[in-house]
Amino acid sequence: MSINTMEYAAVFMQELDSQMVECATSGWMEDNAGQVQYSGGAEVKIPKMELSGLGNYDRDKGFATGSVTVNYETKKLTQDRGRAFQVDAMDVDETNFAAVAGNVMGEFQRTKVIPEIDAYRYSTIAQLAETKSKKKDYTPAADTILETLLNDMTEIRDKVGDGAEIVVTMSAKVAGMLDLAKGGNNVIDSGEFTQGNMTLKVKEIDGCPIIRVPSARFKTKYDFYDGVSESKETGGFVAAADAKDINWIIAVRQAPIAVSKTDVTRIFDPMTNQNANAWKIDYRKYHDLWITDNGMEGVLVSVNSAE
């Protein structure tokens, strides 16, 4: 019986999108995508609300008239990335295609896609922070790291209040130094952090979760290869020559708005594939990240100034 490649494609898309949210260290930022209108393709609409402030109440005229304005700003998903894979027909048949293809795409997303999307998101936040004067330079040191981090957190709380949920995203190297900092036992504890459908065990500082990120994904700037140009056929990404290490990003949880969509995953069986006697899988990913102007009030980025 002929294999239904459309059904396989639909299953892969759903599973890959779920894996993206649950496995990326920045996956929690996609929880904020609920406020975004997405109807397919490479565009989203982000709501912007403007409200009048309080006015005096007049006993004769009553309430001062206010206004509510809701506009939707159209944003493009600037990251349009993809790859085509072929699996030789001699290595797989209809009976085990789903298992083989699932393993291939799962490994590809885990080792290539998720690290790149993490790197893009963190570097984008760092560049926005630079533009909005929300970046601080600091060279991590065991005797100053705890005080510096707590002061940065206090700076954010002073702007957004104690009621806002704050997430601290931190380089794994810097987090290791924080673990050994004197006095850390007084404010660092174990806790839980919900991301997608997963509940993660994390460290917390003063009640705020610390999300540890491999340092290779936590730099201020990256070059993203096109996968075609000479010497760049392998695709992927590398840190830019002038990139700096990010120490930590402190952000109100609702501030970063991340969207990542696996576009129609196309699967061609060997009889349909015109290029080879092989199964062909086309994978395409749209993604991007935004922070509104108001949202930047709840963001602070610490960058290693020693480099």
Q: Please choose, from the candidates 10, 29, 22, the residue with its C-alpha nearest in 3D space to the C-alpha of residue 249.
A: 29
* Residues whose CB is less than 8 angstroms from the CB of residue 101 and which lie 6 or more positions away in sequence, other chains included: 8, 12, 87, 92, 267, 279, 281
Q: What is the DSSP string of 150-164?
A: HHHHHHHHHHH-TTS
Q: Where are the alpha helices (DSSP H) in the chain?
A: 5-23, 97-108, 114-131, 145-160, 172-179
Question: CA 81 → CA 225, 226, 274, distances in Å?
Answer: 10, 8, 23
Which is more confidently placed, 199 or 134?
Answer: 134
Neighbour count for residue 81 (Cβ, 10 Å): 20
Query: 263-274: per-residue pLDDT in tens?
Result: 667 778 778 888
Dist. CA 298–CA 143, nearest whole Å: 27
Long-range CB contact pairs, 266-270, < 8 A, 24+? 266/9, 267/5, 267/8, 267/9, 267/12, 267/101, 268/5, 269/2, 269/3, 269/5, 270/89
Q: Tell me, which fold does domain 5-303 have in CATH?
A: phage-related protein like fold (3.90.1690)
Whole-prediction pTM? 0.84
Which is more confidently placed, 10 or 219?
Answer: 219
Beta strand segments in 162-233, E? 166-171, 188-195, 198-205, 208-213, 222-224
Dist. CA 112–CA 283, nearest whole Å: 12
**The pLDDT of residue 134 is above 60:** yes
* Residues whose CB is less than 8 angstroms from the CB of residue 207 and which lie 6 or more positions away in sequence, other chains included: 191
Q: Which residues pair with 168 in a beta bridge?
A: 210, 250
Contact 174, 247 (CB under 8 A): yes
Say which DSSP state 307 is in. -
Confidence class of residue 54 from pLDDT cuts 50, 70 and 90?
Answer: confident
Dist. CA 247–CA 231, nearest whole Å: 31
pLDDT at residue 254, rounded to an integer: 92
Contact 247, 148 (CB under 8 A): no
At residue 104, the 3 state secondary structure works out as helix
Q: Which of 3-7, 34-38, 91-95, 174-178 has the highest mean pLDDT?
A: 174-178
Average pLDDT over all residues of the chain:
85
pLDDT at residue 307, rounded to an integer: 60
Confidence class of residue 2 from pLDDT cuts 50, 70 and 90?
Answer: very low
Dist. CA 290–CA 33, nearest whole Å: 10
**The pLDDT of residue 1 is above 80:** no
